[in-house]
Amino acid sequence: MNNARQKNLFSADHTEEGPYPWELAEASDQLTASIVFNRPLETVYMYLVPEALRDILQPGQRVRAPFGRGDRPTIGFCVDLGPPPKSSRLLKSLESVIDNEPLLSPKMLELTRWIADRYLCGWGQVLESVVPAGVKKKAGTRVVRFFQLTENFDAATKLPPKQQAVVEVLRSAEEPLEAEELTNKAGCGISPINTLRKKGIIQAVRQRTTSWTVEFDLIEKVDDLQLNNDQQQSLSFICDALRAKRHETLLLHGVTGSGKTEVYIQAIREVVSYGKQAIVLVPEISLTPQTIRQFRSRFDNVAVLHSHLSDAERHWQWQQIARGSVQVVVGARSAIFAPLANLGLIVIDEEHETTFKQETVPRYHAREVARRRAEMENIPLILGSATPTLEAWQDAHENRSRLITMDKRIENRPMPPVVIVDVRNDPHSQKGEGIGRALGNAMRMALSDNGQIILFLNVRGFAPALWCRACGESLRCPDCDITLTWHKDRQFALCHSCDYNTVPSNRCPSCGHSGMRMIGMGTQRLEAEVKAKFPGVKCLRMDSDSMSKPGSHDAALERFRHGEVPVLLGTQMIAKGLDFPNVTLVGVVDADTILHQPDLRATERTFQLISQVAGRTGRSSRGGRVLVQTCCPTEPAILKAAEHDYVGFVQPELAHRKEFQSPPFRKLARIILRGPNERDLQQQSQIFADTLQKKINEMESPACLLGPAPAPITRLKANYRYHIQLSATELEPLQQLWRAAVPELQKKVNVEFIVDVDPVSMR
């Protein structure tokens, strides 16, 4: 194959040329490959590399190898090459190599290895998840046949004129040519080409070319802003770290509207001036056209990685990034794996967001992976938030990271006044309405002043429960331990865990009484209430039901931004990172939705949510205020959020966490067991816990075990769920314990289980 050509194009798949011959290597100088498979296994498997694959195989490529029962050809990743191990068991040979080039660099292999160790899953599982499907499939590319002269070609050979013409074209061409180009240039059909191939004078090579590229809108470039003193100081701390060429984590604690983004941008400017690149992670729903435009208007080559990309688009972006033609990668959680070769800086904006934790295997937290990657690269990591997690805050206070504070808004704009409204005795609330008297009045005032309003409610659907007034039962999902939410628009009751839905009859399924009552308030019901109370006022609802189509989210925000719609209401979707100058009133319809959840971070989340929502207003000179409706007006998380007092919230909360031995003072691993039969599951969970406890005693491990206990959501998708919690001051003993116990657990326990290290969801 022509090597020069190969470098310019996407490389060909070896498999398309047929598998390489299965060969046993010579006993003398054998080469072995370490292979990991997409299984929850710690083991790395050794295989002999057949002679024919020796010059091709590199770590980071996928291979086919005989594996498991019946030695079925199975795809795995090559993670290392070396001499055979000393204990010279008879090794099996690899069958074929799938990728022509490594899908991961040695550094990324090391990083994925670290993830497997830290989050207690298989290395192969991590690799499988980290490389996007579109990259593995080489989506958006196609294999094309090119023609070139063979080595046998002898210029002295006499040929008929058409064949001669083909040969002449190929001799003067610098690269192999596609059939169409070749026949055009030689002025002939396909048959002289075929004849020349039969004679062995020319040969066909198959190579992969891209059939697809991304067209970008041209965006006008904008100059960097003149930083204020706080921003300048933050930037200089970051630049110190950049120039020191060592890893440092910097926690940028800046109130909403303090101009954190501008600091990131100018730090990246510095990085780009060194010829290096940056990754900016943001929560998926903050990846709005506004955010993207902000980066594209400052840098020439910005790759955006989000979940709506097609396979082809993602593959193309990945190639651009790997090739070094991208300066900045902006993306959600998985963008931390972007294959930048010369990374200079990682930024995580809205560090406190729970979506940075992946809730499927590998259950990694992007913040921890980013920290590891930054350590490996000797570069800084910036964590930005107005409401940092207690983990990030405690790190800064124990000098594992540097705290940078920006406690004023840009241009000294005031923080919006937040009023806590106790709705326990509100006449409207008592009737089950969402908008109490004070909030209703404030809305009227804001509207008469031509201001815009955001109403925030964390519950989608119409009503979160349908309840029988006679027997007190509510309609539940048959598969989950959850009430069904009434969705009026689609006229069905929906399970928000498993998507089960049913058209309920008007009669109670338990007692037959007719007339089920709708309990509680969801965004659809709130929308109906706004329309009833403010006739003629346009109102836009944003939740995952109304915004399911790609692009609808952005379109809705644009309408709101342009002032076409005065009232925007919705779930978390509207609480994040958005910047609307004309919003003069924000209403938190129910501040208590998270507060009573059985989660150790319930108060922290409540504080974050109210602070973030409150941050959506008062951003321009028009000012603005926030009304928070609650039945717990003395709750510190709500009070302190209303006072914009992060430190005032975090200090007692930390003391509380310390007293109760919970994170960030202790590390957790949560084990969830599930099965279809509750008694069985309970027994198995007990055996599981006993086995673990025995191991703890044997190993004299400092780990503490809690449980087994039914999980807060005891039934999910037709399975019962139990959980066990392991904790210790450090992660290592938990990891050691788990590794030592797993083989025994697999023997003794006959139930499905998963382990979640540093769990974020406690459901």
Identity of the residue numbered 258: S
Residue 237 touches which of Zn ion, ligand ADP, none (Cβ within 5-8 Å per kind): none
User: Looking at beta carbons only, is 306 or 717 nearer to Zn ion?
Assistant: 717
According to the binding rule CB under 6 A, does residue 612 interact with ligand ADP?
no
User: Looking at beta carbons only, is 181 or 479 nearer to Zn ion?
Assistant: 479
Q: Residue 125 to residues 94, 121, 364, 381, 761: CA-CA distances in angstroms?
A: 20, 7, 12, 26, 21
Cis status of the peptide bond prior to 102, with omega within 30 of 0:
no
Token output for 397 = 């206070």
Q: What is the largest CA-CA distance in the chain?
A: 103
Closest distance to ligand ADP from the beta carbon of 252 (Å):
9
Closest distance to Zn ion from the beta carbon of 329 (Å):
37
User: Looking at beta carbons only, is 249 or 719 nearer to Zn ion?
Assistant: 719
The residue among 708, 630, 722 whose CA lies nearest residue 672 is 722
Residue 561 touches which of Zn ion, ligand ADP, none (Cβ within 5-8 Å per kind): none
In the block, residue with structure tokens 């673990």: 692
According to the binding rule CB under 5 A, does residue 498 interact with Zn ion?
yes
Angle between helices 106-119 and 123-130 (to 10 degrees): 120
Closest distance to ligand ADP from the beta carbon of 354 (Å):
19
Candidate ranges 303-311, 476-484, 595-603, 604-612; the one touching Zn ion (CB under 5 A): 476-484
Angle between helices 602-614 and 646-659 (to 10 degrees): 170
273 — alpha (psi -120 to 50), left (phi > 0) or beta? alpha
User: Looking at beta carbons only, is 192 or 618 nearer to ligand ADP?
Assistant: 618
Closest distance to Zn ion from the beta carbon of 678 (Å):
16
Per the DSSP assignment, residues forming a β-bridge with 630 are 422
According to the binding rule CB under 6 A, does residue 410 interact with ligand ADP?
yes
Residue 495 touches which of ligand ADP, Zn ion, none (Cβ within 5-8 Å per kind): Zn ion
Candidate ranges 17-25, 395-403, 443-451, 470-478; the one touching Zn ion (CB under 5 A): 470-478
Candidate ranges 169-177, 220-228, 512-520, 632-640; the one touching ligand ADP (CB under 6 A): 220-228
User: Looking at beta carbons only, is 516 or 557 nearer to ligand ADP?
Assistant: 557
Closest distance to ligand ADP from the beta carbon of 386 (Å):
7
- Please, what is the end-to-end C-alpha distance for the chain in angstroms? 56
User: Looking at beta carbons only, is 501 or 683 nearer to Zn ion?
Assistant: 501
According to the binding rule CB under 6 A, does residue 292 interact with ligand ADP?
no
Residue in 225, 470, 532, 555 binding ligand ADP, rule: CB under 6 A: 225
User: Looking at beta carbons only, is 484 or 609 nearer to Zn ion?
Assistant: 484
Residue in 23, 479, 481, 545 binding Zn ion, rule: CB under 5 A: 479
Site for ligand ADP in 551-590 (CB under 6 A): 579
According to the binding rule CB under 6 A, does residue 597 interact with ligand ADP?
no
According to the binding rule CB under 6 A, does residue 228 interact with ligand ADP?
yes
User: Looking at beta carbons only, is 257 or 362 nearer to ligand ADP?
Assistant: 257
Three state DSSP letters for 269-286: HHHHHCCCEEEEECCHHH
User: Looking at beta carbons only, is 260 or 314 nearer to ligand ADP?
Assistant: 260
With beta carbons less than 8 A apart as the criterion, state whether 660 and 449 touch.
no
Pairwise CA distance, residues 462 & 304, whole Å: 35
Token output for 207 = 């190579």
Pairwise CA distance, residues 252 & 263, whole Å: 10
Closest distance to ligand ADP from the beta carbon of 484 (Å):
38
User: Looking at beta carbons only, is 500 or 607 nearer to Zn ion?
Assistant: 500
Closest distance to ligand ADP from the beta carbon of 624 (Å):
14
Residue 261 touches which of ligand ADP, Zn ion, none (Cβ within 5-8 Å per kind): ligand ADP
User: Looking at beta carbons only, is 85 or 414 nearer to ligand ADP?
Assistant: 414
User: Looking at beta carbons only, is 241 or 477 nearer to Zn ion?
Assistant: 477
Q: What are phi and psi of 668, to 5 degrees?
A: -120, 150
- Number of residues forming the site for ligand ADP (CB under 6 A): 15
Per the DSSP assignment, residues forming a β-bridge with 539 are 567
DSSP string over 568-591: EEESGGGTSS---TTEEEEEES-T
- Burial track 376-415 (b if 16+ CB lie within 10 A, e otherwise): ebebbbbbbbbbbbbbbbbbbeeeebbbbbbebbeeeeeb
Residue 257 touches which of Zn ion, ligand ADP, none (Cβ within 5-8 Å per kind): ligand ADP
Closest distance to ligand ADP from the beta carbon of 619 (Å):
7
Q: What are phi and psi of 509, to 5 degrees?
A: -65, -20
Residue 241 touches which of ligand ADP, Zn ion, none (Cβ within 5-8 Å per kind): none
Residue in 63, 495, 583, 760 binding Zn ion, rule: CB under 5 A: 495
With beta carbons less than 8 A apart as the criterion, state whether 496 and 571 touch.
no
Token output for 180 = 């169409």
**Angle made by CA atoms 667, 669, 672, in degrees to the nearest 5:** 155
The residue among 72, 134, 65, 143 whose CA lies nearest residue 103 is 134
- Number of residues forming the site for Zn ion (CB under 5 A): 7
User: Looking at beta carbons only, is 207 or 617 nearer to ligand ADP?
Assistant: 617
Report which DSSP code applies to 216.
Answer: P
User: Looking at beta carbons only, is 332 or 480 nearer to Zn ion?
Assistant: 480
Residue in 238, 335, 348, 477 binding Zn ion, rule: CB under 5 A: 477
Residue in 20, 37, 295, 500 binding Zn ion, rule: CB under 5 A: 500
With beta carbons less than 8 A apart as the criterion, state whether 708 and 734 touch.
no
Helices (H), 323-452: 366-377, 390-397, 427-430, 437-448
Closest distance to ligand ADP from the beta carbon of 256 (Å):
4
Candidate ranges 148-156, 227-235, 271-279, 392-400; the one touching ligand ADP (CB under 6 A): 227-235
Candidate ranges 69-77, 225-233, 479-487, 726-734; the one touching Zn ion (CB under 5 A): 479-487
Pairwise CA distance, residues 684 & 700, whole Å: 24
Within 10 Å of residue 532's Cβ, how many Cβ atoms? 10
Site for ligand ADP in 234-273 (CB under 6 A): 254, 256-262
Residue 479 touches which of ligand ADP, Zn ion, none (Cβ within 5-8 Å per kind): Zn ion
Per the DSSP assignment, residues forming a β-bridge with 612 are none
Candidate ranges 497-505, 547-555, 576-584, 645-653; the one touching Zn ion (CB under 5 A): 497-505
With beta carbons less than 8 A apart as the criterion, state whether 443 and 461 touch.
no
Residue 258 touches which of Zn ion, ligand ADP, none (Cβ within 5-8 Å per kind): ligand ADP
Within 10 Å of residue 501's Cβ, how many Cβ atoms? 16
According to the binding rule CB under 6 A, does residue 388 interact with ligand ADP?
no
The bridge status of strand 328-331 relative to strand 277-281 is: parallel
| Cβ-Cβ contacts under 8 Å for 101 (sequence gap 6 or more) | 11, 58, 61
Residue in 227, 376, 565, 740 binding ligand ADP, rule: CB under 6 A: 227
With beta carbons less than 8 A apart as the criterion, state whether 489 and 498 touch.
no
Contacting positions for ligand ADP (CB under 6 A): 225-228, 231, 254, 256-262, 410, 579
Contacting positions for Zn ion (CB under 5 A): 477, 479-480, 495, 497-498, 500
